[in-house]
């Protein structure tokens, strides 16, 4: 028996404008596009078909996912490949009423294979420009460092990217979390802050709450990506609430990577109840079973979130966006108008 209040909240979540702040663009690479690009570029894949590749998406933890994630990225060789990947994401984002998207990208995944930095950034930047012009999506790029590699490698990556500085607004930290604390990257993040780049970092997904503290204190992260394990440390929760530090939470990712055993056990409602600036995001949607609206819908159903909580999550996404005050006001106004129209329907 469906709950009418929950169904209204689901319908509202699907219809209203929102921002996506935690999307790894390489993680939006669907099996069909992987095979198309492999054929275009003459890349041999260790899977016989789209179906065989999709069947391999049975992850037990973050590392088992990353192994397939990096294999999928091997088909990305030319500027057009990066454009096509990002454009496919933007079309899905448009359908989900995303009006602001801040895309993570992992240049080290590509430069290690001999793909030039220019190829990566220019392909993605061209897609962002077209998303703004043709789809009305405000789009930006955030360059992420792979934390399982050295800080020296991250610093070299930053320097290689600086000729294209106008194409990315910030830096992040992703890949294998456990055993690679934020403190490992203190110096390169200090350099990024000197350059005026915005700073985010993955912390508190598989790693402990201490990693969130390190991201805040040592890297001076303005947003925490994931952050769900903050609830294990009440002092940290209070500090995140005091600072109004956004958490870019990814419910279906948490389920797929066994951070939670059941979406009904997801801490999203606890995060909201604690007054935290939590947001909903899709992380690596091609691999985790859903884009932004899928994450909203399944989370609303599993936790019986209210319409008010859905609106709060959307507002939080705009509050947490790296945009000017004027653009933020326009984004929030678009949300208010949409909510008003939904109320009249």
Q: Which residues fall in the annotated binding site for substrate?
A: 284
**303 in Cβ contact with 262 (< 8 Å):** no
Residue tagged active-site, from 205, 214, 307, 309: 205
Task: Note if 205 is an active site residue.
Answer: yes
Annotated binding site for Zn(2+), which residues?
22, 24, 202, 283
Neighbour count for residue 19 (Cβ, 10 Å) = 30
d(CA 179, CA 147) in angstroms, rounded, equals 9
Closest CA to 161 of 204, 113, 107: 107
d(CA 87, CA 127) in angstroms, rounded, equals 6
Provide the CB-side half-sphere exposure for 14 (13 A, CA): 12
User: Would you please indicate which residues are annotated as catalytic (active-site) residues?
Assistant: 205
């Amino acid at each position: 028996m469906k709950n009418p209040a929950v169904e209204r909240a689901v319908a509202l979540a699907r219809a209203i404008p929102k921002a996506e702040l935690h999307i790894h663009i390489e993680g939006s690479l669907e099996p069909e596009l992987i095979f198309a690009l492999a054929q275009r570029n003459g890349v041999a894949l260790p899977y016989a078909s789209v179906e065989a590749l999709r069947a391999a998406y049975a992850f037990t933890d973050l590392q088992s996912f990353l192994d397939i994630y990096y294999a999928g990225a091997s088909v990305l060789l030319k500027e057009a490949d990066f454009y096509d990947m990002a454009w496919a994401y933007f079309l899905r984002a448009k359908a989900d009423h995303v009006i602001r998207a801040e895309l993570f990208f992992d240049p080290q995944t590509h430069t290690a294979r001999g793909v030039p930095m220019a190829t990566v950034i220019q392909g993605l930047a061209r897609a962002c420009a077209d998303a703004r012009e043709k789809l009305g999506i405000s789009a930006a790029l955030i360059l992420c460092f792979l934390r399982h590699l050295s800080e020296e490698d991250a610093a070299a990556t930053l320097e290689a990217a600086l000729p294209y500085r106008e194409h990315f607004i910030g830096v992040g930290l992703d890949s294998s979390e456990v055993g690679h604390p934020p403190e490992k990257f203190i110096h390169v993040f200090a350099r990024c802050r000197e350059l005026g780049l915005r700073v985010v970092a993955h912390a508190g997904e598989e790693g402990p709450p201490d990693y969130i503290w390190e991201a805040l204190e040592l890297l001076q992260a303005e947003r925490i990506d994931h952050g769900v394990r903050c609830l294990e440390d009440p002092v940290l929760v209070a500090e995140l609430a005091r600072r109004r530090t956004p958490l870019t939470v990814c419910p279906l990712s948490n389920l797929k990577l066994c951070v939670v055993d059941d979406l009904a056990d997801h801490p999203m409602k606890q995060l909201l109840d604690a007054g935290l600036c939590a947001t909903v995001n899709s992380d690596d949607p091609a691999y985790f079973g859903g884009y932004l609206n899928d994450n909203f819908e399944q989370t609303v159903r599993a936790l019986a979130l209210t319409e008010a909580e859905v609106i709060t999550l959307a507002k939080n996404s705009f509050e947490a966006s790296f945009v000017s005050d004027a653009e933020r006001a326009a984004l929030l106004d678009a949300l208010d108008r949409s909510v008003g129209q939904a109320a009249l329907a």
